[in-house]
Amino acid sequence: MRLNACELEIDLFCSGMRVPDEVSLAGVRGVSRTRAGLGSGLEVVLPTGSRIKDEIWVNVPVVENFAHDSPYRLTGGPAQGYEIVDERFDLHYPVRLPQEPGWYARQTSQGVPMSRVGVLQGTYLGIYVSMVCAFWNYRPALNCRFCTTGQNVGDAEEADKSIADVVETCRAARDESGVTFVHLNGGFQGTKGIEFTLPYVRAIKEEVGLLVGVQLAPERDFSRYDALIDAGIDHISFCLEFFDPAWFGRICPGKARVHGQQLFLDAMAYCAKRMPRGSVSGEIIAGIEPIERTLQGIDVITDLGAFPTVCIFRPTQGADMEAWPSPSYEGMRHVMEYVYDACRRHWLPIGAAPNIEVSLVVNPDDAALLARRDFGFYRYEAFRKVAKTVARPIFARRLRPRPAA
Ligand code: SF4
């Protein structure tokens, strides 16, 4: 059966893809293993053929074990273009493989390769700004079991990223790759996460002018969020990961011991009240805990006025969970349809920000392609269109460099 672009995106996350040796990847974005390791796949752009959105970006697993048995195979090449073949049904999907940007091969003025400072993950720039997440320093380690940050920071990417290097990389990504959004994350840094990240936010806002998103472990002193908001952040996300307390404790022992689920939700609620609608997100992983619990988590996040970012579990190479199975397509399709529906029920203006396509997750607005075409769908799509138009001048203003408060 032929899948639409969002369905194909979901199945590629679940099944991965084989890339035969004879298929040339010359000039395309290389597999980049940085941050939590989820970017360990091949960046692929799927045309949708739909008026809802033109294309969907997906970071397709290619190195993990499950990808070796995938029914999907990449064919073609740089000259004739690429296709993904579904060998079960002999279906061919034309796709685009984005080019590696020239700045990946350049160094900052301090001699640091820019690709070791930040990487493109879809159309945005991702930078892990902090020292390695402190959960990796406990003995025994308290890292989240799906994560590989502790192996990547200092290896695949710089351990210590200076503000000047980050600013230069942001500028190159903006000028040469058309990036509008940079996402700064840093894992758990005790009570110093926000304090450490603030100077980066201020420098990017003042010197480059990108939209800035921040993702850190929650802190108990919520006034620190005021400082981040005053510095001009455009987005903040909280990685709750699992809604089921038992699964949360089992897979995220550090978060369970140090923070507890409620702190994630309280911090999310605090920021959602203080920031414009659609600026706060709650991240969860689908495909490990029972699906009903994931759906409950989506409801709780949207009830708080945040939007859900749902990552399909990837048993990343080197992670404690690398031998776990990847989730089933049917279950993940159901989850993503639910994400869109929850956003619709809460009138969240998903997809309003300019040029932010995240390749590591199914974006909530990708999931519009899954929705039933009824009156509620068309009414919400009309709302999203208006929200996007209204937001355009606001984002244009926020994209200008300006002194941070
Ligand atoms: S908090 Fe968990 S997922 Fe985030 S960097 Fe630390 S170990 Fe990885």
Residue 342 lies in a domain: yes
- Ligand 1: residue whose CA is nearest its atom 1: 187
> Residues near ligand 1 with C-beta < 6 Å?
36, 133, 135, 143-144, 147, 149, 187-188, 217
Cα(330) to centroid(ligand 1), Å: 28
Domain count within the chain = 2
Helix (H, G, I), strand (E, B) or coil at 403: coil
- Ligand 1: residue whose CA is nearest its atom 7: 143
Based on the fold, state whether residues 86 and 116 are members of the same structural domain: no
Q: What is the pLDDT of residues 257-310, one digit of tens each?
A: 999 999 999 999 999 999 999 999 999 999 999 999 999 999 999 999 999 999
- Ligand 1: residue whose CA is nearest its atom 4: 187
**pLDDT score for 1:** 85
The residue assigned the tokens 């699906």 is 291
Please, which pLDDT band fits residue 158 given cuts at 50, 70 and 90?
confident
Query: 322-325 long-range CB contacts below 8 Å, 24 or more apart?
Result: 322/64, 322/65, 323/65, 324/288, 325/66
Structure tokens at 23: 């298929």
Out of 95, 111, 138, pick the residue that ends a domain: 95
- Vertex 42, ends 71 and 317: CA angle to 5°? 80
Pairing of the two strands 211-215 and 307-312 = unpaired
Based on the fold, state whether residues 237 and 177 are members of the same structural domain: yes
Mean pLDDT lowest among 28-42, 174-188, 191-205: 28-42
Residue 193 lies in a domain: yes
Burial profile 290-321: b = 16 or more Cβ within 10 angstroms, e = fewer: ebebbbebbbbbbebbbbbbbbbbbbbbebbb
- Cβ pair 123, 355 in contact under 8 A: yes
Q: Which of 33, 130, 133, 258 to mutate to test the pocket of ligand 1 (most atoms within 8 A of CB)?
A: 133
Out of 95, 120, 148, pick the residue that ends a domain: 95
- Ligand 1: residue whose CA is nearest its atom 2: 144
Cα(343) to centroid(ligand 1), Å: 26
CATH number at residue 331: 3.20.20.70
Based on the fold, state whether residues 91 and 108 are members of the same structural domain: no
Q: Locate the ligand 1 atom nearest the alpha carbon of residue 147 and give its number.
A: 8
Q: Locate the ligand 1 atom nearest the alpha carbon of residue 134 and give its number.
A: 6
Based on the fold, state whether residues 111 and 167 are members of the same structural domain: yes
The closest of 159, 171, 239 to 205, measured between CA atoms, is 171
Based on the fold, state whether residues 123 and 260 are members of the same structural domain: yes
The residue assigned the tokens 């706060």 is 280
Q: What residue type is 118 in one-letter code?
A: G
**pLDDT score for 110:** 94
**pLDDT score for 354:** 94
Using the predicted structure, report yes or no on whether residue 404 has a pLDDT greater than 70.
no
Cα four-point dihedral sign 51, 53, 54, 59: negative
The residue assigned the tokens 């309003």 is 352
d(CA 5, CA 376): 22
Residue 331 lies in a domain: yes
Residue 387 lies in a domain: yes
Residue 29 lies in a domain: yes
Based on the fold, state whether residues 261 and 347 are members of the same structural domain: yes
Using the predicted structure, report yes or no on whether residue 405 has a pLDDT greater than 90.
no
Using the predicted structure, report yes or no on whether residue 403 has a pLDDT greater than 80.
no
Give the whole-number percent of the chain exceeding pLDDT 90.
87
Cα(146) to centroid(ligand 1), Å: 9
Residue 24 lies in a domain: yes
Helix (H, G, I), strand (E, B) or coil at 73: strand
Out of 77, 95, 113, pick the residue that ends a domain: 95
Q: What residue type is 196 in one-letter code?
A: F
- Cα 23 → chain centroid: 27
Q: Which domain holds residue 329?
A: 102-398
Residue 152 lies in a domain: yes
What is the overall mean pLDDT for the chain?
Answer: 94
Based on the fold, state whether residues 52 and 153 are members of the same structural domain: no
Using the predicted structure, report yes or no on whether residue 33 has a pLDDT greater than 80.
no
**pLDDT score for 36:** 58
Cis, bond preceding 349 (omega within 30 deg of 0): no
Mean pLDDT of 118-131: 91
The closest of 130, 152, 133, 129 to 142, measured between CA atoms, is 133
